[in-house]
Amino acid sequence: MPKGIVIIKWDDRVGPVILAKHPEKIGFDMDLAMKVYTTHFAGSSPPFSVLDIGDWHIASYYLPRDKYLFALVLDADERGDKYEDKLFAIAGKSKKLMKRKKGIVEDLPQLYSDLLTAGVTFKRSELYEKPEVKKLLEKFLDNSLSELEPTFNWDEGFRYINVEKVTGLDSIDTKVLLETLSKYRILNRKAFDSALACPNCGSFKIRVRYRCPYCSSFSIQKSNFLECFLCGTVDSEEYFSGVYYGEPDKYYCPKCEKELKGLSLDYRKILAQNKCDNCKKIFTEVNVAVQCTECDHTVKLAFAKIVEAPFYTMNPDYAKEIKRQVSSIQLRKMLSSTFKKKGWNVETPGTITGVDNVNYEFHVVAAMPDNVGKELIKNILPGGKIAIDIVEDAEEVKKEKIMEFVGKNASVAPVQYVIVAIPKLSDEAKQLLKKQEIMYCEKDREHNEIPPLIESLASIDISELLTEK
Residue 105 Rama label (left phi>0; alpha psi -120 to 50; beta): alpha
Could you tell me which residues are beta bridge partners of residue 387?
Answer: 365, 417
| Section 401-426 average pLDDT | 86
Spatial separation of the C-alpha atoms in residues 199 and 298, rounded to whole Å:
9
**Do 181 and 266 belong together in one domain?**
no
Last residue of a domain, one of 87, 118, 149: 118
Q: Residues 214-247: pLDDT tens digits? A: 998 989 888 888 999 999 998 888 889 888 778 8
Is 351 found in the same domain as 454? yes
Nearest of 174, 161, 93 to residue 132 by alpha carbon = 174
pLDDT at site 453? 86
Q: State residue 293 phi and psi, 5-degree precision.
A: -80, -5
| pLDDT tens digits for range 238-267 | 889 888 778 888 899 989 989 898 888 999
The predicted structure's pLDDT at residue 443: 87
Residue 208 covered by a domain: no
Cα torsion for 257, 263, 267, 270, to the nearest 10°? Answer: 120
Spatial contact of 100 and 37, defined as CB atoms under 8 Å apart:
no
Q: How many angstroms separate the Cα of 448 from the Cα of each of 328, 418, 444? A: 11, 18, 8
Q: What is the pLDDT of residue 310?
A: 93
pLDDT of residue 86 exceeding 80? no
Q: Percentage of the chain with pLDDT > 70?
A: 89
pLDDT of residue 149: 94
Say how far apart CA 62 and CA 7 lie, in whole Å: 10
Residue where a domain terminates, one of 64, 83, 118: 118
Residues 147 and 247 occupy one common structural domain: no
pLDDT surpasses 90 at 15: no
Please name every residue paired with 385 in a beta bridge, in sequence order, or none if there are none. 367
Same structural domain, 325 and 421? yes
Same domain, 13 and 41: yes
pLDDT of residue 365: 92
135 and 279 within one domain: no
Please give the backbone phi and psi of residue 28, each rounded to the nearest 5 degrees, phi first: -75, 110
Mean pLDDT within 155-165: 91
Domain containing 440 equals 319-468
**Which of 95, 118, 141 is at the close of a domain?**
118
Q: Is residue 274 part of a domain?
A: yes
pLDDT per position as a tens digit, 293-341? 888 888 888 888 888 899 999 998 888 788 777 777 778 888 888 888 8
- Residues 239, 341 share a domain: no
Q: What average pLDDT does the segment 405-419 reach?
A: 85
Between 10 and 314, residue with greater pLDDT:
314
Residue 198's domain is classified under what CATH number? 1.10.10
Total count of domains within the chain: 4
CA–CA gap between residue 343 and residue 206 (Å, rounded): 59
How large is the average pLDDT for residues 437-445?
87
Query: 188 with 266, same domain?
Result: no
What's the pLDDT score for residue 252?
A: 92
Residue 331 has what pLDDT? 83
DSSP string, 288-318: EEEEETTT--EEEGGGSEEEEEEEEEE-GGG
> Are 36 and 77 in the same domain?
yes
Q: Is residue 293 part of a domain?
A: no
CA distance 345 to 360: 18
pLDDT over 80 at 66, yes or no = no
Structural element, H or E, at residue 427: helix 427-435
Residue 469 is predicted with a pLDDT of 47
pLDDT(374) > 70: no
233 in any annotated domain: yes
The CATH number assigned to the domain holding 21 equals 3.30.450.200
pLDDT at 184: 85
442 and 333 assigned to the same domain:
yes
Is 291 a domain residue?
A: no
Residues 401 and 439 in one domain: yes
**What integer pLDDT is reported at residue 467 of this predicted model?**
46
Please check whether residues 187 and 259 belong to one and the same domain. no
Within a domain: 365: yes
Average pLDDT, the chain: 83
At 99 the pLDDT is 64
Report yes or no on whether pTM surpasses 0.75. no
| Count of C-beta atoms within a 10 Å radius of residue 130 | 16
Query: What's the pLDDT score for residue 433?
Result: 92
